[in-house]
Amino acid sequence: MLGYALQQVFPRADFFGHRDVEITNGGAVMKIVKRERPAVLINAAAYTDVDGCEENRNHAFAVNGYAPGYIANASSEVGAVLVHYSTDYIFDGTKQEFYEDDPPNPINVYGESKLLGESLIKENMQDYRIIRTSWLFGSHGKNFVDTILSLSHQMPEVRVVKDQIGKPTYTVDLAGATPDIISRAPGIYHITNDGSCSWYEFASAFIPNAIPCTTREFPRKAKRPSNSVLANTKIPPLRPWREAVREYIRTKRNVV
C-alpha cells in the first residue's frame, strides 16, 4: 500500500517487490543492494497482518525484525541512507501520547517484531531515518477505510470499537513527507495525519451507520494498545486526517 504511494512521489526511482527480492534472505538483500548501489534505500516491506503475527511469530520476526537488520547492513556497506517505516504498536498505550524518545513496550507480536527491526537498524548503521506511523489507509492494500465502506453497504449497522485511540494516516501524505525526512538528520520520526480519534470516530467520518462498541465486545487475536497517539515534535504537521480521508474517498469514486 505505502509502496505504491512512494512510486508516485519518486517516479524516477527503481522499485523492487517481493518477486524481485526476499528480504528475509540476507545474502539476496546484500546482492541486490551492491548491484544497485542506491544513495537512498526506502524499505516499505513488512508483514503487516497484526493478528496473523500472533500465529506466525517466527515469520513476523524474520520479516519485521531480522530483515531490516540485513537491509541496514547492506545500506551501510554501500553508504546509502536507509528510510524504514515502523509503527505506533511498539508502544503499550498507557500514555496520552507517545514521543519519539519514549521507551517502547510492545504488547503484541507485530509490535515486538517491528521493535526488533528498529533496534537492528540502529545497531547496524548510522544514517537511518526510522519513520513511525499509524492506521494507514490508501489504495493498493487492505485497509480500514475500504473494509468499513464495504461492510457499510452490506449491513444495516457496522460495529466499530470506540476505546482504541490513534492517528489515521493517508499513504499519499506519508509518502509525500518522506523526501523532507530524507533531507533531515538521522533518527526517529513520527509521521501521521494531524489529529487523533477512535476507530469509531474514524468510521463515522465516512459512513452513516457506524455503531460504537468496546474492544471487549470485539476480541481479536492480537492485543491492541488502547492509546497509540504518536506525537510529532520534529517536522511540520501533515494535514488533518478528516481532509485526507475525504480526498481518498473522492479518489476512489473517480476510479470506480
Active site residues: 110
At residue 156's C-alpha, the angle toward residues 155 and 162, to 5°, is 95
8 A C-beta contact, residue 50 and residue 110: yes
Question: What character string, x for contact with ligand NAP (CB under 6 A) and - otherwise, covers 115-144?
Answer: ------------------xxxx----x---
CB of 101 to ligand NAP, least distance (A): 19
CB of 234 to ligand NAP, least distance (A): 17
Closest CA to 121 of 60, 70, 181, 46: 70
Task: Name the residue nearer to ligand NAP (CB basis): 188 or 209.
Answer: 188
Return the range that interacts with ligand NAP (CB under 6 A); candidates 18-26, 155-163, 213-221, 244-252. 18-26
Site for ligand NAP, residues 59 to 98, rule: CB under 6 A: 63, 85, 87
51 binds ligand NAP (CB under 6 A): no
Complete edge-to-edge strand list for the sheet that includes strand 81-87: 40-43, 81-87, 128-133, 187-190
1 binds ligand NAP (CB under 6 A): yes
CB of 5 to ligand NAP, least distance (A): 8
Q: Grid coordinates standing for 200?
A: 469509531
24 binds ligand NAP (CB under 6 A): yes
Closest CA to 84 of 96, 92, 76: 76
Closest CA to 166 of 65, 56, 255, 91: 91
Helices 2-9 and 171-182: crossing angle in degrees, nearest 10, is 50
Using CB under 6 A, list all residues that contact ligand NAP. Answer: 1-3, 17-18, 21-24, 44-48, 63, 85, 87, 114, 133-136, 141
